[in-house]
């Protein structure tokens, strides 16, 4: 007996091949106290089930009660390891249920069940999200069957129980079956719980909608309990997909007790994440301080940077925001209703809506999603602001709740109400971003939230492209930092990409995916969900029961182009093929960095990024008359990476230190070039370097090393910390510093002073920033002020984007058949001759663009005295703005000029293969105009600088007009 004088029965028995759990509970009521066996089963057996080690579950509820005075009955769970008929099916066998099933399941299943499961499995394998079907049984109860890919969600089995309990249903029995083709199928046998039947009867008789309490657990009344089992099943089928995306949230207890619906709980979770990233934490006082302080004064900038960091860390923690939202749950409901009123997908016909209204008049309640909108009028924005001010007790509470209202106001479209989905996606209007923190407003912003991750996509132009980056966290502290800085990093990377893309038609974009702390091993799952959720908002098609038309406040179609970045290089093929499977007309160009089998141009194989970066190294050597072989170099990013490996292969300097993911390699005499080149070709980290080839002064410290004494007697306590800070170590001194990897803002205004010697000289003479955002702008300026020749990432690291742009151009120019013949690796493993010649054209374009920009930056810096980091931004802005202006002029309408410029801008080998007129007919017009504008703008600015004379453009264009006229 427990303290409420009710009987508690619990039993558990675990063994290597399974377990048995028994407890008593009230049918249709989620337990909030005591052991939660379903959560245990999820965590210990189901969440990690894979074909190589999977568990199946059989669960039954007793017909009788524990005692005459209690409604509780016994619930049993039998968990057993699977014994598959064919543990590793291939080809057609993956669809043969007699091969992919567990032997016990096959022995028990009827032919009807086998046919049902076969159909569900086939759909799961052809789709990214869950497959949900139901059927009425002769008894009047329902069987709900849900199939999904293994490890594609977590905690789902237990979350489903909370869902059907919320709608007044209970399960008499339920099963979880695993299959060796990677599919999980859950079967639930559902009926109305007794309290739901009573509530439904009371609702039809009196029209009441009171909240009742069963055995101390509050349960929503008629607003949640369906008037019929059909209503409950329909709503559960719709919301099972929402729960699949986010099975568990910090709002789960409120959902279990009936205080929040599943939609309100998941909405609260999305709003919580939004508030974490976008609360305006700096305020007007910070903006005033920015105006007062001198941006060229290093001390002022250090103070400002520290203040900004402290404000963003301490003002609103995740826990503080959550506490505020939980305390204001009534406001949360109002804000959800405000959101739902706009974005709820009304799929009913006018006649259907009329029938729903008639049902409401008869006190028969429809599904909660609709009932919320019917039963309570949503508040306007102004009314919500008044209520927020009235019910919150302080400014912090009000700011958090107003952030949710900002979220509502700026969501342009979302898949929140789609019948099937794998993650939540929101296309946001970036207008809510405070200008003091984000001075350049992005063109578009996506927020994507999944069970394993959260992510963003930011772009600065309609037609834009950039990489998608996976952000991992080594420990909880690193996750907290990554979570806090995720959007800022994404914004900065996209902004840098936009400046970097000045030579090509696409603007800049970037995507980031932050893996949750318990999902560090699920990068591929997170990436696939991220892509599929974004495609939900890009594709406008409608498939009844699978995808509905969205409420679209944007009002126009969009196309995004994805590329590889940290942690996603191996996923580009899947994304392209998935876009094709979902019917995206742009599938060939959707991703770059694909394998050569799909027409991709691998940056690492052809050294595309390095070709641009190294042009800046060669440019410095040429301008200053240096001997490369006599120059020393320090490099972050090792021989295992794209940029790092190719920098090693293409350079001829004396490299003294390399830092990579495995540790630090150092030799003041110069690291053995032959051994280093071997690692670069093998794409291996410096942990594989033959230490015997180091000089007596050299060393290798790995991240797992502890208490190591260096040749000079220095004691290294911790290899990881030594690696993380070696770029600030006095030993990391060289003529050249070429960052080819590393975290953003590794050197900022707070630590840049460590790159100076006591006499004020700098440890590096020349810096070519290959890694994105390795330096902050204020750190760059301080180094340049001290005499360092520094070329920032937006100028140096643009070879990859040029390669990817020309890869997209080929995909848009060729038909599917031509693309397969000319751009894809053939079945015999050979590369078409066209492909190889086209790649050579791409390499020439990269080197030519880099050389033009280097010469312009060098001459402009010499002429004006401005820092090259500032000039780089000025050139980028000038090109981007001029390109935008040119696209709105009538220059394109001049056919002779159009043909001339396009012949100059397009790769020669492409024009040899396809007539210009054919390209002009196939490639989208806005993309063609972007090519036209990018060519003219970049060539003009590189020749005349960012601030040309009044008649410079006229002089520049007159040459092209003359050539165009002579070619007629």
DSSP 778: H
Cα 667 to Cα 404: distance, rounded to the nearest angstrom: 55
Cα 186 to Cα 184: distance, rounded to the nearest angstrom: 7
Picking from 740, 743, 735, the residue whose alpha carbon sits closest to that of residue 647 is 740
Cα 940 to Cα 953: distance, rounded to the nearest angstrom: 7
- 413 - beta bridge partners? 427
Cα 176 to Cα 222: distance, rounded to the nearest angstrom: 31
Tokens found for residue 101:
């099933």
DSSP H or E stretch at residue 132: strand 131-136
**Is the distance from CB of 494 to CB of 486 less than 8 angstroms?**
no
**Is the distance from CB of 905 to CB of 805 less than 8 angstroms?**
no
Using DSSP's 3-state secondary structure scheme, residue 758 falls into: coil
Using DSSP's 3-state secondary structure scheme, residue 574 falls into: helix
Cα 916 to Cα 913: distance, rounded to the nearest angstrom: 9
- Catalytic choice (31, 510, 765, 798): 510
Residue with token string 């409120």: 254
- 426 - beta bridge partners? 414, 447
Q: From residue 852, how far is each of 58, 926, 938 by CA, in Å?
A: 69, 26, 9
Pairing assessment for the beta strands 715-718 and 464-471 based on DSSP bridges? unpaired
Cα 572 to Cα 602: distance, rounded to the nearest angstrom: 11
**Is the distance from CB of 564 to CB of 592 less than 8 angstroms?**
yes
Residue with token string 């401005």: 866
Using DSSP's 3-state secondary structure scheme, residue 55 falls into: strand
Q: How many CB atoms lie within 10 A of CB 737?
A: 30
CB burial readout 174-210, b (16+ within 10 A) else e: bbbbbbbbbbbbbbbbbbbbebbeebbebbeeeeebe
Taking only Cα atoms into account, the Rg of the chain, rounded to an integer number of angstroms, comes to: 31
**Is the distance from CB of 536 to CB of 127 less than 8 angstroms?**
no
SS3 content of the chain, % helix, strand, coil (to 5): 50, 15, 35
Residue 730 appears among annotated catalytic residues: no
**Is the distance from CB of 245 to CB of 451 less than 8 angstroms?**
yes
Q: How many CB atoms lie within 10 A of CB 48?
A: 15
DSSP 195: H
**Is the distance from CB of 476 to CB of 538 less than 8 angstroms?**
no
Residue with token string 């993956």: 94
**Is the distance from CB of 703 to CB of 685 less than 8 angstroms?**
no
Cα 590 to Cα 532: distance, rounded to the nearest angstrom: 12
Q: CA 607 from chain center: how many Å?
A: 26
Cα 551 to Cα 416: distance, rounded to the nearest angstrom: 10
Cα 765 to Cα 675: distance, rounded to the nearest angstrom: 27
Q: How many CB atoms lie within 10 A of CB 589?
A: 25
Nearest 5 degrees, angle CA 95-CA 97-CA 103?
Answer: 145
Q: Where are the alpha helices (DSSP H) in 683-792?
A: 719-725, 777-785
User: Which residues are catalytic, by number?
Assistant: 510
């Amino acid at each position: 007996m427990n303290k409420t004088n009710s009987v508690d029965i619990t039993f558990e028995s675990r063994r290597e091949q399974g377990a048995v759990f028994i407890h008593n509970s009230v049918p249709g009521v989620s337990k909030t106290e005591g052991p939660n066996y379903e959560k245990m089963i999820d965590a210990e057996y189901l969440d990690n089930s894979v074909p190589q080690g999977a568990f199946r579950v059989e669960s039954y509820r007793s017909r009788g009660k524990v005692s005459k005075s209690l409604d509780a009955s016994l619930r049993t769970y039998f968990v057993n390891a699977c014994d598959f008929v064919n543990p590793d099916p291939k080809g057609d066998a993956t669809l043969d249920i007699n091969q992919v099933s567990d032997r016990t399941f096959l022995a028990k299943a009827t032919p009807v069940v086998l046919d049902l499961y076969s159909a569900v499995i086939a759909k799961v394998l052809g789709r990214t999200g869950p497959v949900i079907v139901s059927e009425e049984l002769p008894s009047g109860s329902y069987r709900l069957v849900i199939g999904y890919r293994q490890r594609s969600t977590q905690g789902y089995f237990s979350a489903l129980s909370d869902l059907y309990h919320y709608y007044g249903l209970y399960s008499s029995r339920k099963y979880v079956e695993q299959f060796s083709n990677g599919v999980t199928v859950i079967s639930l046998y559902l009926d109305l719980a007794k309290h739901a039947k009573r509530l439904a009867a009371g609702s039809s008789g009196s029209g009441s909608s009171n909240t009742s309490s069963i055995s101390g657990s509050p349960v929503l009344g008629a607003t949640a309990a369906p008037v019929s089992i059909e209503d409950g099943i329909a709503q559960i089928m719709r919301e099972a997909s929402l729960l699949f995306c986010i099975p568990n949230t910090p709002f789960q207890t409120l959902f279990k007790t009936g205080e929040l619906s599943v939609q309100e709980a998941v909405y609260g979770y999305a709003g919580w994440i939004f508030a974490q990233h976008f609360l305006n934490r700096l305020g007007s006082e910070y903006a005033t301080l920015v105006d007062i302080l001198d941006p060229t004064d290093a001390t002022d900038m250090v103070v400002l940077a520290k203040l900004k960091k402290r404000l963003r860390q301490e003002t609103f923690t995740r826990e503080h925001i959550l506490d505020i939202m939980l305390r204001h749950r009534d406001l949360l409901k109002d804000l959800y209703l405000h959101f739902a009123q706009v974005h709820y997908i009304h799929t009913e016909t006018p006649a259907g809506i009329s029938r729903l209204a008639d049902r409401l008049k008869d006190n028969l309640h429809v599904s909660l999603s609709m009932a919320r909108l019917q039963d309570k009028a949503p508040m306007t924005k102004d009314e919500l602001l008044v209520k927020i001010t009235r019910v919150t007790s302080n400014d912090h509470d009000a700011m958090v709740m107003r952030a949710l209202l900002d979220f509502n106001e700026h969501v342009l479209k979302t898949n929140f109400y789609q019948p099937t989905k794998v993650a939540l996606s929101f296309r946001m209007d970036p207008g809510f971003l405070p200008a003091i923190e984000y001075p350049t407003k992005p063109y578009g912003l996506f927020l994507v939230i999944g069970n394993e991750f959260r992510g963003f996509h930011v772009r600065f132009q309609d037609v834009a492209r950039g990489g998608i980056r996976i952000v991992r966290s080594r420990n909880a502290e690193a996750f907290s930092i990554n979570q806090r800085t995720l959007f800022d990093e994404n914004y900065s990377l996209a902004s840098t990409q936009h400046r970097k893309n000045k030579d090509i038609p696409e603007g800049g974009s970037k995507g980031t995916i932050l893996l949750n702390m318990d999902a560090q091993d699920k990068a591929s799952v997170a990436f696939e969900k991220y892509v599929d959720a974004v495609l939900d908002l890009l594709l406008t098609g409608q498939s009844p029961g699978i995808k509905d038309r969205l409420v679209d406040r944007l009002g126009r179609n969009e196309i995004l182009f994805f590329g590889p970045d940290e942690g996603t290089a191996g996923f580009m093929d899947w994304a392209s093929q998935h876009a094709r499977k979902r019917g995206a007309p742009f599938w060939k160009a959707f991703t770059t960095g694909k394998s050569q089998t799909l027409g991709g141009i691998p940056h690492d194989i052809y050294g595309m990024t390095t070709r641009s970066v190294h042009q800046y190294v060669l440019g410095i050597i040429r301008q200053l008359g240096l001997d490369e072989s006599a120059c020393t170099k320090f490099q972050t990013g090792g021989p295992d990476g794209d940029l790092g490996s190719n920098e090693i292969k293409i350079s001829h300097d004396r490299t003294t230190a390399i830092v990579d993911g495995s540790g630090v390699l150092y030799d003041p005499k110069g690291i053995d070039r032959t051994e280093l080149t071997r690692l670069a070709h093998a794409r291996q980290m410096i942990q594989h370097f033959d230490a015997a080839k180091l000089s007596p002064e050299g060393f290798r410290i790995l991240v797992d090393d502890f208490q190591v004494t260096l040749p000079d007697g220095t004691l290294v306590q911790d290899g990881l910390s030594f690696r993380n800070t070696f770029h600030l170590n006095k030993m990391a001194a060289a003529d050249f510093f070429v960052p080819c990897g590393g975290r953003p803002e590794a050197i900022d205004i707070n630590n840049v002073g460590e790159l100076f010697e006591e006499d004020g000289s700098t440890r590096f003479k020349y810096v070519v920033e290959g890694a994105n955002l390795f330096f902050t702008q204020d750190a760059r300026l301080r180094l340049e002020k001290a005499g360092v020749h520094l070329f920032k990432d937006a100028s140096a690291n643009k070879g990859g984007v040029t390669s990817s742009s020309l890869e997209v151009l080929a995909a848009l120019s060729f038909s599917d058949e031509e693309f397969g013949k000319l751009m894809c690796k053939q079945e015999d493993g050979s590369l078409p001759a066209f492909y190889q010649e086209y790649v050579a054209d791409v390499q020439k374009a990269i080197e030519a663009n880099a050389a033009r920009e280097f010469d312009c930056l060098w001459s402009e810096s010499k002429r004006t005295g401005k820092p090259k980091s500032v000039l780089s931004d000025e050139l980028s802005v000038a090109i981007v703005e001029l390109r935008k202006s040119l696209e709105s002029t009538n220059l394109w309408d001049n056919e002779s000029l159009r043909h001339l410029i396009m012949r100059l801008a397009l790769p020669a080998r492409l024009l040899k293969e396809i007539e210009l007129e054919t390209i002009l007919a196939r490639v989208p017009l806005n993309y063609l105009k972007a090519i036209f504008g990018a060519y003219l703008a970049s060539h003009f600015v590189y020749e005349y600088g960012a601030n040309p004379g009044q008649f410079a453009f006229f002089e520049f264009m007159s040459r092209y007009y003359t050539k165009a006229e002579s070619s007629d």
